[in-house]
Structure 1
Amino acid sequence: MIYFLLYLFIETFVSVEIASAIGPFWTFIEIILSAIVGVYLFINFQYRSNEYLMALARREISFEEFESLSLYTLLGAILLIIPGFFTDILGILLQFNAFAKFFAKKILNLKNRPPKNKGDDDVIDVEIIER
Structure 2
Amino acid sequence: MIYFLLYLFIETFVSVEIASAIGPIWTFIEIIVSAVAGFYILMNYQYKINEYLFAVAKREITLDEFESMSIYTLIGAILLIIPGFFTDILGILLQFHNVALFFAKKILKLKEKEKKKGEEDVIDVEIIEH
In 2, Cα distance between equivalents of 1:3 and 1:33: 27
Give 2:78's aligned residue: 78
The 1:35/1:22 distance shift into structure 2, 3 A limit, reads same
Give 1:104's aligned residue: 104
SS of residue paired to 2:109: coil
Gaps in structure 2 of 5+ consecutive residues:
113-130
Instruction: Give the aligned CA root-mean-square deviation in angstroms.
Output: 1.5
Cα displacement string for residues 44-71 of structure 1 (whole angstroms, at most 9, x for unaligned residues)? 0000000001111111100110000100
- Percent identity between matched residues is 77
Cα displacement string for residues 69-110 of structure 1 (whole angstroms, at most 9, x for unaligned residues)? 100011100000000000000000000011111111224526
Gaps in structure 1 of 5+ consecutive residues:
113-131
Query: How many residue pairs get matched?
Result: 112
Amino acid at match of 1:97: H
More helix by share: 2
Contact 1:73 1:95 in 2 (8 A): yes
Contact 1:104 1:110 in 2 (8 A): no
1:93 aligns with 2:93: yes
In 2, Cα distance between equivalents of 1:111 and 1:56: 20
Query: Which residues of 2 match residues 45-84 of structure 1 at below 5 A?
Result: 45-84=45-84
Contact 2:42 2:74 in 1 (8 A): yes
